[in-house]
Chains A and B, each alone.
Chain A
């Protein structure tokens, strides 16, 4: 494509189907701990990776 360059292959809707297993870390979003966004976390479910 000439006008649009796609940067990533994310597909959130696919993760809905096999997600929600709860193996991943809890993550405080508040400034008082550290609010790194959930978006940076790794999925901890080996069968998804």
Chain B
């Protein structure tokens, strides 16, 4: 399978199954439309006659023979040999937990998928006992995995920060005995950040996600306090202090864009100009009937914003600025192994979420969907059948992913989105797919430009 596209006057060709990326000229670009497998050694006369009103025959033959040579080296139209791996490399130990440390929040962000913090299940903080039981569960279920991840999520985890600290202490106290390495992360809305909390986070959390949507008026339209006023002024200074004190450790500021700020490249630039250089801005996912939801009609505008961002980011880098925009992160040479790429997030199989009540779900987004409740920590129950269902959920078991050129980068998208919008974890959410594919083209383009300029 191949995928080709034009961007910024460059013709780019991706060989999907090998991951090879090539820049090609116009003849080759058009020639590829007429190629049938298996490739004939010599360029068929029919192809020449289709193209020789535009190009001369010797150029067409030359381009054709270059295609053949890459094909013979397995760098073009390379075979898809991964279906078997998808079926054999199935169940994994659990290695990552999302702890819903607080089903409560001190903001009332209008687009919150957690129904302003409580996932529609009542406001509640996670008791320390549940947190400890979750760590024990992870230690028990992670046989063979050394690196374990625990993400403190909410609601707003800083509303229950003493418990966060105790859980970290508890987990660290077990590391040696079990031969494990804990890697903690936290997501916060910044409202309760203090210098003490910043110190703890910077010491213990290997990544921290700071929620902010970008420009003040954009942020304050959606990220509002209980009284309806905006949060921007309250959070931005804390974020700056945290980032200044953080050194080289990972963090990112993370925003959501909606129909209200389809010019979101301005928000990315605003965040950069405010002093943040690790930036992630994501489309809101909402039912089409909601006023601020993104719909098919917005796609052209969104695509144009991503194109704009490719140029803006290249400009910043050219002037020796440092910026990392998460949607354009891609490693064309040494990304993860293809087996990792078949499944992506690992929800329900390698990764589960735990609520304050001790309920276990395939991931944070499944919380409250009873049919996917996997068990409860206090009752010592865990449904292996649901785990198996998720283990079998990969790009080859999802019909639209199997034939999608983006499958080894997207890894089959978000199972939760598929379930929420299409009622089936295997049914890709097409609007998300379209945005994903555009982002990937931009990411590949940005890398190609860097290479061509170097």
Binding site for B on A (CB under 8 A): 1-13, 15-16, 18-44, 48-49
Contacts and interface: CB of A to CB of B under 8 A. Distances in A.
A7 B25 CA distance: 14
Interface stretch (B171-179, B194-202, B222-230, B342-350): B342-350
B19 interface: yes
Contacts of B70: 4, 6
A27 B344 contact: yes
Nearest to B451: A7
Interface in B298-356: 326-327, 329-341, 344-347, 350-351
Interface stretch (B41-49, B162-170, B403-411): B403-411
Contact of B336 (A6, A13, A42): A42
B337 A26 contact: no
- List the 10 closest pairs (A to B, CB-CB), nearest first: A19-B337, A10-B19, A40-B329, A26-B96, A20-B339, A39-B409, A15-B337, A31-B282, A30-B414, A8-B332
Given A5-B23, A16-B82, A26-B351, A10 B345 contact: no
Given A30-B414, A34-B209, A4 B409 contact: no
B447 A7 contact: yes
22 contacts: A2-B66, A3-B59, A4-B13, A8-B20, A8-B447, A12-B82, A13-B74, A15-B336, A16-B339, A20-B85, A22-B350, A28-B345, A29-B411, A31-B284, A31-B417, A33-B187, A34-B252, A35-B327, A37-B440, A39-B336, A39-B341, A42-B336
B365 A3 contact: no
A13 B338 contact: yes
Interface residues of B, number: 89
B22 A6 contact: yes
Contacts of A18: 337
Contacts of B336: 15, 19, 24, 38-39, 41-43
A2 B65 CA distance: 11
A49 to B, nearest CB: 7
A22 B337 contact: no
A42 B331 contact: yes
Contact of B340 (A6, A19, A32): A19
B115 interface: no
Contacts of B327: 35-36
A30 B149 CA distance: 17
User: Looking at A16, A19, A24, A35, which has the most chain B CB atoms within 10 Å of its CB?
Assistant: A35
Interface stretch (B87-95, B128-136, B241-249, B260-268): B87-95
B18 A10 contact: yes
B235 interface: no
Given A22-B145, A31-B282, A39-B408, A4 B28 contact: yes
Nearest to B24: A4
Contacts of B340: 19-20, 24, 38, 41, 43
Interface string B419-441: 00000000000001000100110
- Which of B24, B326, B341 has the most chain A CB within a 10 Å cutoff? B341
B67 interface: yes
Given A13-B18, A20-B89, 20 more contacts: A10-B18, A12-B338, A20-B339, A22-B144, A22-B350, A26-B345, A26-B350, A28-B351, A29-B411, A29-B413, A31-B282, A31-B283, A31-B414, A32-B113, A37-B410, A38-B411, A39-B341, A39-B409, A43-B334, A43-B335
A19 B345 CA distance: 16
A7 B18 CA distance: 13
B209 A33 contact: yes
Contact of A3 (B27, B93, B447): B27
A10 B147 CA distance: 26
A42 to B, nearest CB: 7
Contact of A38 (B95, B146, B409, B439): B409
B247 to A, nearest CB: 19
B23 A26 contact: no
Nearest to B412: A29
A39 B66 contact: no
B285 to A, nearest CB: 5
B28 A42 contact: no
A13 B17 contact: yes
Contacts of A44: 147
Given A12-B17, A16-B339, A29 B345 contact: yes
